[in-house]
Amino acid sequence: MTDTSLPPSPRRNVLAPILRMVGVVPFLVFALLFLIGPTLYIVLGAFQRTGGGWTLENIVALNTPSVRNAYWVSIKISFISALLGCLIGFAMSAGAVLGGLPKWVRSPLLTFSGVASNFAGVPLAFAFLATIGPAGLITMWLRQDLGINLRAYGFNLLSTPGLIITYLFFQIPLMILIITPALDGLRREWREAAMVLGATGWQYWRMVALPILFPSLLGCLALLFANAFGAVATAIALTGSSLNIAPILLYAQIRGDVLGNPHLGYALATGMIAITAVANTVYIVLRARSERWLR
């Protein structure tokens, strides 16, 4: 029996790749208009004067004491919140995945983490101010009913520790979402083999599990650092101008008042872009390395 089907036409073969790309066009347009375009505009603006022309003055101005201090405080806040988020999130995820908790705990935990990891900006700042702020619900309850004055113990939400605590609300859930698949990748056979060879639970974690998870943990730390370092709206809405950190200094320069220098703001933003790009690159490299073991 002869095959009467016609061979595909050359025109159809040429159009097939183009048609497959149609579905990607909206994403490419969105990325170009709202990510690539604004980023290029900011980077180019960092090398321009207000009246026009190219200059390196804005980049040189980043070496002033106030700017260096703002970057240092931002790096410190981002690193501490990322480190605490990694430790707490890893412990919670390990308890849900490997700790023998009931299976129904995992699904609500991941659902809440998916929501909380994206809850930032003005709503998050308002939620913390209304809860543990100077006149927050819990603050007033502790003061009036229990006689505990948080201010007397040195706690102030509108400070560096307060900002770190606020950042943990989205740092911990993000860590849970990222590290859970890595914990799922730990094979049961590895633990059983370690136990057969006489290893204790601590020895298994120290000599088998943690070395395998170490690239993932470092990658998560880098990603959480970048996530906190770029959290502009939360810092501004929570502390206003009371903290000298890079996002607040950036906002002060580009908001358009007489003391602002938009192009210095662009230079500040360019520095933040460079730092977050390095952190994200570290995360991508370490994540790819860890996936070799967890496939």
**In this prediction, what percent of the chain has a pLDDT beyond 90?**
36
Q: What is the mean pLDDT of residues 202-208?
A: 88
pLDDT in tens, 168-195: 999 999 999 999 988 988 888 888 898 8
Bridge partner residues of 54 (DSSP):
48
Rounded to 5°, angle at Cα 170 from 167 and 174: 130
Q: What is the mean pLDDT of residues 226-245?
A: 85
pLDDT at 2 over 60: no
Whole-angstrom Cα distance, residue 192 to residue 171? 33
pLDDT in tens, 5-19: 555 555 556 666 777
Q: Average per-residue pLDDT in the chain?
A: 86
Q: What is the mean pLDDT of residues 45-63?
A: 88
- The residue whose two tokens read 């490299």 is 285
Quickly list H helices, the chain.
Answer: 10-22, 25-31, 37-45, 57-60, 65-97, 103-116, 122-132, 137-145, 160-184, 188-196, 201-204, 210-229, 232-239, 246-254, 262-294
Quickly list H helices, 61-99.
Answer: 65-97
pTM for the structure as a whole: 0.85
Q: What is the model's pLDDT at position 80?
A: 96
pLDDT at 261 over 90: no
Whole-angstrom Cα distance, residue 206 to residue 295? 21
What burial letters (b/e) apply to 30-61, b meaning 16+ CB within 10 Å?
Answer: eeeeeeeeeeeebeebbbbeeeeeeeeebeee
Q: What is the model's pLDDT at position 77?
A: 94
Q: What is the mean pLDDT of residues 222-234?
A: 90
* Banded pLDDT at 256 (limits 50, 70, 90): low
